Structures are given as structure tokens and as C-alpha cells.
Structure 1
């Protein structure tokens, strides 16, 4: 019994995975950057676990929310530019999701 590996197919899958991961990360990063420039900085409260090393207080959470609101206020973009940045951000997130769905479809249908 002999096992043969199609190295060309292996390299093809590797390159496709590398490009796909790069696209997902790039679309997400650009989308997040545009979201912040559009004045919608995402503030996520830290999760508290029972075995957490550090406990985040309510005061720290309020301070982070205040800093995000302050950063959103001092944006030098006009309202039209903010809307355009938000639309670009949402488009990037859609493209990020489309890249993930396309990868899953390629795996499911192409295999």
C-alpha cells in the first residue's frame, strides 16, 4: 500500500487559506477603523469570570465609555464624511462575512 500526496494541491490549499485569512483580517481591520472614524467606537465591557486575575470596576468601565464618547465628539470629519465612513465600515464587514461564507461554501461544495 502506497500513499501519494498531491503536493501541488496541498500548496494550492495553503495559498488559498493564507489569502482568505488575510482578506478576512484586512476587511475586519479596515471596517473597524472606519467605524471608529465614523464616530461609532465600539465599547465592550470586559467580561468578568469567577477566576479572573483582575476585576474591572464599574468606575473603569464608565471611564472607558467616557473616553470613547470624547473621541467620537472630537472627530474632524463632517457629517457627510462620517456617514460615508460608516457605510464603508458596514461594507467591509459584509465583505468579511462574504469571504467567510465563500470559504465554507468552497469547502462544502468543492470537496
Structure 2
């Protein structure tokens, strides 16, 4: 039994580059969304003692800090809209890359 090392290397490079593309697009989308003034404040769910649970006052303080940071944003409204559009475009491209990967993996989708 022999291993086709060129094919192995091709699959490895394709997987690595696909991962880098998806992570970069998602991170860029989050960064542009924050630049557009949409600071992601997530209200934590209550879990076991292993996870920090924030009180309602701590959540309000975090929301106040996020609102204060949004007021300091030096971008004009047009620049914020462009950044928001860019974020949505990055998320859309990220989804397209994932769907293309699923298309390549499932043989029934492309007749392989």
C-alpha cells in the first residue's frame, strides 16, 4: 500500500486555507460591526458555579460602558453604514465559503 503524498498535501493545504479564510472573514465581520457602533453585549445565561454569572447591575454597567464607547466613535454616519455593510458582506462570504465546503464534501450535491 502506498500513500499519495501529493494528494495528502493538497488536502491539507486546502483545509488549512479554508479554515484561515473562514476565521478571517468572521473576525473581520465582528471588527467592522464594532466599528459601526454595534458593540456586542451578550447577557450571560446562568450556569453552574464554574462560570461567572453577572448580576443585573453588572450587566447595566457593561451596557453603559458600551454606550459610552459608541459615543466616542470617530466615524461619521456614512462611514458607520459602510462598516456595517462591510460586516454583513464578511458574514455573507463566510457563510458562502462554509456552504461551498459542504457542497464539496457531499457527493450527492455535485454528482460525484
Q: How many residues align?
A: 109
Corresponding residue for residue 97 of structure 2 = 99
TM superposition shift of 1:67: 1.2
Q: TM-score, normalised by structure 1?
A: 0.88
DSSP 3-state at the match of 1:84:
helix
Match for residue 85 of structure 1 among 62, 83, 90: 83
1:1-111 equivalence runs, <5 A: 3-109=1-107
Q: TM-score, normalised by structure 2?
A: 0.88
Once residues 77 and 11 of structure 2 are traced to their aligned partners in structure 1, the CA distance between those partners, rounded to angstroms, is: 44
TM superposition shift of 1:62: 1.3
Once residues 71 and 53 of structure 1 are traced to their aligned partners in structure 2, the CA distance between those partners, rounded to angstroms, is: 26
Q: Deviations over 1:65-87 (max 9, x none)?
A: 11111111211111111100000
Contact 2:45-2:53 at 8 Å conserved across structures: no
DSSP 3-state at the match of 1:91:
helix
DSSP 3-state at the match of 1:45:
coil
Q: Deviations over 1:1-56 (max 9, x none)?
A: xx332221111111111001100110011111110110111111122213434332
CA RMSD, 1 decimal: 1.6
Once residues 48 and 9 of structure 1 are traced to their aligned partners in structure 2, the CA distance between those partners, rounded to angstroms, is: 47
Gaps of 5+ in 1: none
